[in-house]
Amino acid sequence: MNTTKIGWIGLGNMGIPMAGQLITAGYSVTAYNRSKAKESALKEMGAEIALTPAELLEETDVVFVMVSDDQAISEIFGGEEGLLQAKTSDKIIINMSTVSPKISKEMAGRCRDKESFYLDAPVSGSVKQAETGQLVIMVGGEEEIFEKVKPILEKLGKLAMLVGSYGAGNTAKLAINSLLALYAQGLAETVVFANQNGIETADLLNLINNAAIGNIFTKIKGDAIIGDNYKAAFALKHIVKDLGLAKDEGISSPLAKTAYETFKNAEAGYGEEDIIAIIKALK
Ligand code: NAP
């Protein structure tokens, strides 16, 4: 049994399997989620539940945050019962959410004022990788703190890599998700074009997945298209957020611009469905 006490905030599609991995690895985990119904899944896996983020930080050593966006981070850290209200110091807070580099720099400074430590550590991979500890984790922050928590990060991912100072993990993640958007839109457009010209989806995907351009993404999302299963593993609304953040950081290349417009236009109809539901908007 590992003696580091873990806190986990954010029990969405990613948070539940990731926190579950740490329980399986033998850590004691205390969890908090804004809407209480989602906490029961983790309780059943053996987690304790905290009533507020501040209480959770006081009771644990290393706290992970896996929530939607900058707004959620502002509330989890700066809210009335937020992390920054905790009467404690020397804690490590690891923000794994995909958010802006700007908010990471701000929260790193505010944690330092409270004599605690911050790392931004967003992840590449989705629910399947979260369930098997196969995520790719990109970290911004101080090397000494990163080295301290690396063994825990390695329970969540197959690679945990420090890429720079505060916010650098977020920048790397926005770059990667720009490519993700291009993959999703590209795959969807390819299927639509083939269908319009008489090729069955399953036949096309069989070809793609056996060809050099096939990859884990085309396999997983191809199966989703064939099965007509658009339940969110990675919600389409999140890629709109990420492309918007990349835009704020200055991305202005032709494909990134087009992808942002395509996904933004699809958000009203398909935002809660999976990213690959972009195919429905393109049809
Ligand atoms: P999700 O299923 O939509 O869950 C979002 C979580 O954030 C929920 O726990 C939600 O609480 C919480 N939250 C949202 N707004 C909040 C607020 N204002 N205050 C407090 N809590 C708030 O999202 P997810 O798919 O797990 O993704 C989480 C993060 O990881 C996002 O930044 C996403 O871009 C990133 N990510 C996702 C994937 C993926 O494949 N899903 C992959 C890589 C990275 P409630 O339950 O109360 O709503």
CA-nearest residue, atom 18 of ligand 1 = 72
pLDDT for 196-252, tens place per residue?
999 999 999 999 999 999 999 999 999 999 999 999 999 999 999 999 999 999 999
Q: Pick the atom of ligand 1 nearest to 9's CA.
A: 9
The CATH number covering residue 184 comes to 1.10.1040.10
Judge if 159 and 204 occupy the same domain.
no
Judge if 82 and 99 occupy the same domain.
yes
Judge if 159 and 176 occupy the same domain.
no
Backbone angles phi, psi at 100, to 5 degrees: -75, 150
State residue 283's pLDDT score: 93
Residue 115 has a CB neighbour count (10 Å cut-off) of 10
Position 1 confidence tier, pLDDT thresholds 50, 70, 90: low
Judge if 142 and 193 occupy the same domain.
no
Average pLDDT across the chain, whole number: 97
User: Number of folded domains in the chain?
Assistant: 2
Give the domain range for residue 107.
2-165
Res. 156: pLDDT tops 70: yes
Q: Pick the atom of ligand 1 nearest to 242's CA.
A: 34
Which of these three, 165, 182, 211, is where a domain ends?
165
Judge if 145 and 187 occupy the same domain.
no
Q: Who's near 248: CB < 8 A, 6+ residues apart? A: 100
Position 9 confidence tier, pLDDT thresholds 50, 70, 90: very high
Residue 152 has a CB neighbour count (10 Å cut-off) of 20
Res. 261: pLDDT tops 70: yes
Q: Who's near 184: CB < 8 A, 6+ residues apart? A: 217, 221, 239, 275, 276, 278
Judge if 237 and 278 occupy the same domain.
yes
pLDDT for 44-79, tens place per residue?
999 999 999 999 999 999 999 999 999 999 999 999
* Cα–Cα dist 152/4, whole Å: 9
Residue type, 273: E
Question: What is the percent of the chain with per-residue pLDDT over 90, rounded to a whole number?
Answer: 99
The CATH number covering residue 120 comes to 3.40.50.720
C-alpha to C-alpha distances, 182 to 35, 91, 96, 215, nearest whole angstrom? 33, 38, 23, 14
Choosing from 179, 238, 263 the residue with most ligand 1 atoms within 8 A of its CB, the one to mutate for a pocket test is: 238
State residue 201's pLDDT score: 98
Tokens 């060809």 map to which residue? Answer: 211
Res. 39: pLDDT tops 90: yes
* Mean pLDDT of the 135-162 span: 98
Active site includes 158? no
Judge if 49 and 148 occupy the same domain.
yes
Which of these three, 139, 165, 191, is where a domain ends?
165
* Mean pLDDT of the 251-273 span: 97
Q: Pick the atom of ligand 1 nearest to 35's CA.
A: 47
Which of these three, 165, 185, 200, is where a domain ends?
165
Judge if 277 and 142 occupy the same domain.
no
Judge if 119 and 224 occupy the same domain.
no
| 114, 173, 221, 237: the active-site residue | 173
Going by C-alpha positions, the residue among 106, 167, 124 that lies closest to residue 142 is 167
* Mean pLDDT of the 130-137 span: 98
